[in-house]
Structure 1
């Protein structure tokens, strides 16, 4: 399912999230991980809902299996690129961030304001307000930024 380099990256991510180093990710580990990312007031219900997505205690094997199941549902890079190209009328590889924000918050599976902020924190628009959707699509489908 994954090659060795991907497994190593998942292992590093697991180790970062396993804050108390007991070999399992639990509610307190999730709370600490969110705090490290700047999100302090995460509700218990939200953390519990995340943990319910696992078939049992989350050790590395379960963590890897859960990621594999999530990634199986990801559309191919070309499909995601085509979705963004609808808004790239000049074919330059960039779209206006405010247009994408409006569409994400008003169409289909609507994003919340917080989800849009998280996306733009990870993929900030340039000084002109353009979003490099090619790089975003690459990261969504490959898990790392292109050089």
Structure 2
């Protein structure tokens, strides 16, 4: 008789994230404001912010960004910038900053 080894299933555990749901970091009105900002930047309306979208948005504000500047901005994201990534990036930037009312009261 041959003995069979019991197969054990191993699963890789994903690295712990700062928050499991980026949408939980903001209230609904904040998410709506971020969505409006995202839609203003997403000039070609494809659901992603790319280098051309950034250029067009900044140009509409009278700026003339260099390719190096745009590349640096795009390189802050680990991948394509859809709305969830956009919200995640803002969450990371705002994490640890004072609440809006504290900042306003400082002035």
Please say whether Structure 1 and Structure 2 have the same fold, judged by a TM-score greater than 0.5: yes
Name the count of aligned residue pairs: 80
Structure 1 or 2: larger strand share?
1
Structure 1 or 2: larger helix share?
1
- The separation in 1 between residues aligned to 2:97 and 2:60, in whole angstroms, is 27
Alignment map for 1:84-123 (pairs within 5 Å)? none
- The separation in 2 between residues aligned to 1:22 and 1:48, in whole angstroms, is 19
**1:42 and 2:56 are equivalent in the alignment:** no
**1:27 and 2:20 are equivalent in the alignment:** no
Stretches of 4+ aligned residues off by more than 6 angstroms: none
Unpaired runs of at least 5, structure 1: 82-133, 135-147
Give deviations 1:5-47, integer Å, cap 9, x for gaps. Answer: 10000000000000000000000000011011110x2100110
Per the alignment, residue 82 of structure 2 pairs with 59
Q: TM-score, normalised by structure 1?
A: 0.51
Out of 23, 35, 38, the position equivalent to 1:11 is: 35
Structure 1 position 75, deviation (Å) = 3.5
Q: Which has the higher contact order (CA 8 A, sep 6+)?
A: 2
